[in-house]
Amino acid sequence: MPKHTKARTIGELRRQGYQPLLVREEMRRNLIQKMEAREEIFPGIIGYEETVLPQLETAILSGQDLILLGERGQAKSRILRSMTNLLDEEMPYIAGCEIYDNPYAPICKACRDRVAEDGDEVEVAWLPREQRFSEKLATPDISVADLIGEVDPIKVAEGRYLADELTIHYGLIPRTNRGIFCINELPDLPERIQVGLFNLLEERDVQIKGYRIRLPLDIFLVATANPEDYTNRGRIITPLKDRYGAQIRTHYPRLLEQEIQIVEQERARFPDMEERVQAPAYMQEVIAEFTSLARRSADINQRSGVSVRVSIANEESILAAALRRAIRLKEPKASPRVSDLGSIMASTTGKIEMETAEEGREGKIIEDLTKKAVVNTFGRYFNMREFEPLLKAFDQEGLIVETGPDIPSNLYEDTLERVEGLREAVQRLGAKKGSPAQVASAMEFILEGLHLNRRLNRDKVEGKFRYRG
C-alpha to C-alpha distance for 189 and 186, rounded to whole angstroms: 6
Backbone angles phi, psi at 388, to 5 degrees: -60, -45
CB 171 within 8 A of CB 149: yes
Output the tens digit of pLDDT for each of the chain's 469 residues: 444 478 999 999 999 999 999 999 999 999 999 999 999 999 999 999 999 999 999 999 999 999 999 998 899 999 999 999 999 999 999 999 999 999 999 988 889 999 999 999 999 999 999 999 999 988 878 887 788 877 665 665 565 654 556 667 788 888 999 999 999 988 888 887 887 777 777 766 666 666 656 778 899 999 999 887 766 555 777 778 888 889 999 999 999 999 999 999 999 999 999 999 999 999 999 999 999 999 999 999 888 889 999 999 999 999 999 999 999 999 999 999 999 999 999 999 888 888 876 766 888 999 999 999 999 999 999 998 888 888 888 888 888 889 999 999 999 888 887 777 788 889 899 888 789 999 999 999 999 999 999 999 999 888 889 988 8
Nearest-5° Cα angle at 25, 23 to 29: 120
**In terms of DSSP bridges, do strands 219-225 and 179-184 run parallel, antiparallel, or are they unpaired?**
parallel
Alpha helices by DSSP H, 295-336: 308-329
d(CA 124, CA 217): 19
- C-alpha span between 402 and 304 (Å, rounded): 40
Q: Sketch the domain layout of the chain as residue ranges.
A: 3-249, 256-468
Q: What is the three-class DSSP state of 168? A: strand
What CATH number labels 3-249? 3.40.50.300
